[in-house]
Amino acid sequence: MNTASQTVQSNSTLALISIVALTFFGYIAIGLPLAVLPTYVDSGLGFGVIWAGIAVSTQYVATIISRAQVGRLCDQYGPRRSVLLGFLAYALSGILTLASTFTAHVPTASLSLLLAGRLALGIGESWVSTAAITWAIGLMGSRETVRIISWNGIATYGGIALAAPFGAWLQGQYGFFAIGAVTIVLAVAGLMLAQSRPPVPGVRKKGIGTGQVLSRIAPFGVALALSSSGFGVVMAFVALFFQSRGWEGASFALSAFGLAFMGVRLGLAQAVARFGGLPLTRISLVVEMIGLLALAFAWSPTVAIIGAALAGAGFAPVFPALGNEAMERIPPQNRGVALGLYSIFLDVSLGTTGPIAGLFADHLGYAAPFSFGVGAVLLSLVLSLVLRRHPNA
């Protein structure tokens, strides 16, 4: 590679990092309360486990509902407006969280404010994360779609991984009040960064209808949703599985999953360019199934940790690789809507996998969710074998 090419590549990477940082700030805000919110609602406010679960899930309901709206906003007015509105929603979430701590002596009022803050957080999540991908594609071109989605995913999971223990420390040192305060700081940082980035104009030319967009991406979205079940069961049941076997090291299994996921994502663009999105997806789904099978039949913590790593490595390429194939079928003026709708399949999968797999665990033991995951990923593999590459890909 000559010096000019290296300079272009370096500038491209810096531009991508500057946009992906928006997602990173957003997911730090999302990760901050994850480790402390259930306990705060359960014992701090005294509402019990059910309301603790509702408080967590409220965010995801708002995310799912607002995904398609942000896509339309990006397509018509450009992604910067969506990102700015998203960080304003993050700021509102922080303010409402702060207000909930000041009304803790009136638990019902405190919980109401907290739930409103969770709704605002969910809206901020969908608007910033979807618009950031659209923004980067607009700046760098559709040929960089795989790299953009891959790095965005690293920012997502990296932000959550860093923020969860930091949020627990904040709550321990300063109380739940600090979660709201830091969320506001992150929102301001995101607003400042977004204002400094070059805008991408919206496309006013009329595209295809939302129904047509959905019909074109739905097969890829369903394959994504099924494969995401493997991710969902690992996140939800690894700790319980280790506990049921009397093993130590569940955190190492989760770390192995995350590190393998991020490692594969870093080199994913070259792999998709070499093998193609659908062939790589099929190989990845097989690797994910092997990892889940290793977990389901693990006879030692070491085998379980290796299984988690394989599951993470297998799942890592699926969202970007299938997403790239789906976007090839969508006109440029509908890409924002398409990304929003495509992401909904992941949201719904992660929201439903836990309860469904929990029924298996309740009746068949804590290894059963991983077998359930194998079945779902196998269905995704079968569907991926039916799908064909777009002729322009």
**pLDDT value of position 165:** 80
Query: Contact at 8 Å (CB) between 243 and 301?
Result: no
**pLDDT value of position 393:** 47
**pLDDT value of position 204:** 61
Do both 110 and 244 map to the same domain?
no
**pLDDT value of position 351:** 72
The pairs formed by 243-249 with CB atoms below 8 angstroms and a separation of 24 or more are 243/366, 244/365, 244/366, 245/301, 247/300, 247/301, 247/304, 248/301, 249/301, 249/305
**pLDDT value of position 366:** 78
Which residue stretches of 103-144 are H helix? Answer: 107-140
Domain holding 119, by residue range, is 3-196
Using DSSP's 3-state secondary structure scheme, residue 106 falls into coil
Q: How far apart are CA 391 and CA 205, in angstroms?
A: 24
Do both 29 and 176 map to the same domain?
yes
**pLDDT value of position 326:** 84
Per-residue pLDDT of the chain (393 residues; tens, 9 = 90+): 455 444 444 556 777 888 889 999 998 998 888 767 777 887 788 887 677 767 777 887 788 788 777 777 777 777 888 899 999 999 999 999 999 999 988 999 999 999 999 999 989 988 898 888 888 888 887 777 778 878 888 888 788 778 878 888 888 899 889 999 999 999 999 999 999 888 777 666 666 677 788 888 889 999 999 998 888 888 767 777 887 888 877 777 877 887 888 888 877 767 776 777 788 889 999 999 999 999 989 888 899 989 989 998 898 888 888 888 888 888 777 777 787 788 888 878 877 777 777 777 777 777 888 888 899 999 999 998 888 765 454
pTM of the model: 0.77
**pLDDT value of position 10:** 52
Do both 247 and 337 map to the same domain?
yes
Burial degree of 274 (CB within 10 A; 0-12, 13-18, 19+):
exposed
Do both 329 and 352 map to the same domain?
yes
Give me the CATH number covering residue 254. 1.20.1250.20
Do both 192 and 214 map to the same domain?
no
Last residue of a domain, one of 143, 174, 196: 196
Do both 233 and 334 map to the same domain?
yes
Q: How far apart are CA 192 and CA 242, in angstroms?
A: 43
Helix, strand, coil distribution of the chain in percent, nearest 5: 85, 0, 15
User: CB-based contacts of 102: which residues, under 8 Å, 6+ apart?
Assistant: none
Last residue of a domain, one of 196, 222, 254: 196
Do both 241 and 181 map to the same domain?
no
Length of the chain as a residue count: 393
**pLDDT value of position 7:** 47
